[in-house]
Amino acid sequence: MRVHLTATAAAAVRRGHPWVYRDGIAGAAGRAASAGGRGARAHRAVAAAAVVAASGEVVELAAEGAPFLGRGLWDADSPIAVRVFQRTQAPALDERALAERLERAFALRDGWFAGRDTTAYRMCNGEGDRVPSLVIDRYDRVAVVRLDGGLLAPWVERLLPHLARALGARGVRSIGLRAPAGGADAEGKKLTHVHGPPLPERVVVRELGVAMEVDLARGQKTGAFLDQRDNRARVRALAAGRRRALNLFSYAGGFSVAAALGGAGRVTSVDSASAAHATAQRTFRENGVDPSAHEFVTADVFDFLEKARARGDRYDLIVSDPPSFAPSERAKPRALGAYRRLHTAVARVLDPGGVLCAASCSSHISMEDFVGTLDDATLERDDLRVRALHGQPEDHPTLPAWWEGRYLKFVVLE
Ligand code: SAH
């Protein structure tokens, strides 16, 4: 099917943006929902609303004055109607072309992680690796595949032999398919076995020399927040000589163990999920750190901060890495307010001379917007400076035109 784009959508595709939203479709030629078998009329252009294809179908993109803009895959259900895979006529968009791109993504990781004592990383970051909607995270001998939207679901069976071969050559034994956000079976498991030996529920991986237990069956994201790897290493370096560190929204304790290994005297981890603390404590032990010398608090972060302030507890290293406050563009003003409230409460328990690491994982909040939620008025103090701005690591690459892919912000104030 050939799909005609609006001028705006066509301009985005030319810049290399990989998404065409449904309202970027002006019409189609070649086939319409009700035109099958009506001879020449089937080739007449049809209105945008009547453009129907099956998820996973290859579509050619065109626009006014541009008979060929590129090729993509149709998604019948997502607000993103087409994900763009290529801007060139050749080669054909088939599983071999996809397998070649995957091989390129995997080969880059071979170089990036060689000799770094790291066994968990993102092997393919979807759009950022030019394989839109396909995310593959490696946890040592297990690879977890996640599909955004429905376009690649019909391709999985054909892609699997290629994946098994390319991943197998790198020591991956089992492949699991992660259910879309929110999906889980009756036992709460979110991972379906698709290749190799049975999937373990938990694995211990290594990250820049640090052991980390990952809950593959029930954990968040594909098991762990691999995108914070370099920032965890930064926290480890910042922790030297600190008396009391505080890790807010601590999940499986990645930043906590980094602070403890880096030399922080006592680390307090706060999360509303007690199961995450159990994982964190096992990770402490895996690294030879006694968790009983540290503190794990199951509480709402805002309640905790209020009580800590009232008690007079102060910290000289604080990490704050909340879940996304802005799931959509519309939610942005409210999200900025929530970040401000959080940062005000955090600043009240930060020692003079302390370091604050504040993170945001929402793509709708830009770095500039986010840094703004750490201004003097919000923090109610004027003794801090922005020491560094960081983002996501190399295994989470993006494209210049794909701003949505640059979601992680990590601001260090001192
Ligand atoms: N910093 C973590 C990832 C944090 S994910 C890492 O690097 O691995 C967000 C975490 O915040 C989840 O574990 C969730 O249980 C927790 N959470 C969400 N809202 C919370 C709240 N209001 N109070 C405490 N914990 C909360």
> Is residue 105 located within the same domain as residue 135?
yes
| 320 alpha carbon – ligand 1 mean position (Å) | 9
* Mutate-to-test residue for ligand 1 from 215, 220, 272, highest number of ligand atoms within 8 A of CB: 272
Write phi, then psi, for 195 (nearest 5 degrees).
Answer: -160, 145
| 271 alpha carbon – ligand 1 mean position (Å) | 6
* Mutate-to-test residue for ligand 1 from 271, 339, 361, highest number of ligand atoms within 8 A of CB: 271
Low-confidence ranges of the chain (pLDDT < 70): 30-45, 49
Report yes or no: 216 and 203 within 8 Å, Cβ to Cβ: yes
**Domain presence at residue 219:** no
Give the number of domains in the chain.
3
**Domain presence at residue 138:** yes
Rounded to a whole number, what is the distance in angstroms from the first to the last CA of the chain?
56
Q: Which pLDDT belongs to residue 181?
A: 75
Q: Which of 206, 234, 263 is the last residue of a domain?
A: 206
> Is residue 123 located within the same domain as residue 70?
no
Quick: pLDDT tens for 368-389: 999 999 999 999 999 999 999 9
Q: Which amino acid is at 365?
A: I
| 251 alpha carbon – ligand 1 mean position (Å) | 5
Q: Which pLDDT belongs to residue 32?
A: 44
269 lines ligand 1 (CB under 6 A): no
Q: Which pLDDT belongs to residue 265?
A: 98
* Mutate-to-test residue for ligand 1 from 234, 251, 407, highest number of ligand atoms within 8 A of CB: 251
Q: Which of 86, 110, 132 is the last residue of a domain?
A: 86
Q: Which pLDDT belongs to residue 193?
A: 96
Q: How many residues does the chain have?
A: 414
360 lines ligand 1 (CB under 6 A): no
155 lines ligand 1 (CB under 6 A): no
| 17 alpha carbon – ligand 1 mean position (Å) | 31
| 68 alpha carbon – ligand 1 mean position (Å) | 46
**Domain presence at residue 216:** no
> Is residue 155 located within the same domain as residue 231?
no
Q: Which pLDDT belongs to residue 29?
A: 75
DSSP letter at 198?
A: P
Q: Which of 55, 86, 117 is the last residue of a domain?
A: 86
**Domain presence at residue 264:** yes
Which residue in the list 84, 280, 361, 413 is annotated as catalytic? 361
Residue with tokens 């390129």: 104
> Is residue 50 located within the same domain as residue 193?
no
Report yes or no: 318 and 354 within 8 Å, Cβ to Cβ: yes
320 lines ligand 1 (CB under 6 A): no
251 lines ligand 1 (CB under 6 A): yes
Question: Is 361 a residue of the active site?
Answer: yes
Quick: pLDDT tens for 141-154: 999 999 999 999 99
Report yes or no: 407 and 362 within 8 Å, Cβ to Cβ: yes
Q: Which residues constitute the domain of residue 288?
A: 225-413
Whole-angstrom distance, CA of residue 171 vs CA of residue 169? 6
**Domain presence at residue 58:** yes
CA dihedral over 12, 14, 19, 20, signed as positive or negative = positive
Whole-angstrom distance, CA of residue 143 vs CA of residue 7? 40
Domain CATH number, residue 259: 3.40.50.150
Domain CATH number, residue 186: 3.30.750.80
> Is residue 82 located within the same domain as residue 109?
no
* Residues in Cβ contact with 280 at an 8 Å cutoff, skipping those fewer than 6 apart: 250, 251, 252, 253, 256, 257, 269, 291, 296
> Is residue 137 located within the same domain as residue 257?
no
Of all protein residues, the one whose alpha carbon is nearest to atom 12 of ligand 1 is 251
> Is residue 82 located within the same domain as residue 124?
no
Whole-angstrom distance, CA of residue 344 vs CA of residue 358? 12
323 lines ligand 1 (CB under 6 A): yes
**Domain presence at residue 124:** yes
Write phi, then psi, for 41 (nearest 5 degrees).
Answer: -65, -25
338 lines ligand 1 (CB under 6 A): no
| 249 alpha carbon – ligand 1 mean position (Å) | 3
Q: Which pLDDT belongs to residue 167?
A: 98
| 211 alpha carbon – ligand 1 mean position (Å) | 20
**Domain presence at residue 232:** yes
Q: What is the mean pLDDT of the chain?
A: 94
276 lines ligand 1 (CB under 6 A): yes
255 lines ligand 1 (CB under 6 A): yes
252 lines ligand 1 (CB under 6 A): yes
* Residues in Cβ contact with 37 at an 8 Å cutoff, skipping those fewer than 6 apart: none
Of all protein residues, the one whose alpha carbon is nearest to atom 3 of ligand 1 is 251
Q: Which pLDDT belongs to residue 240?
A: 98
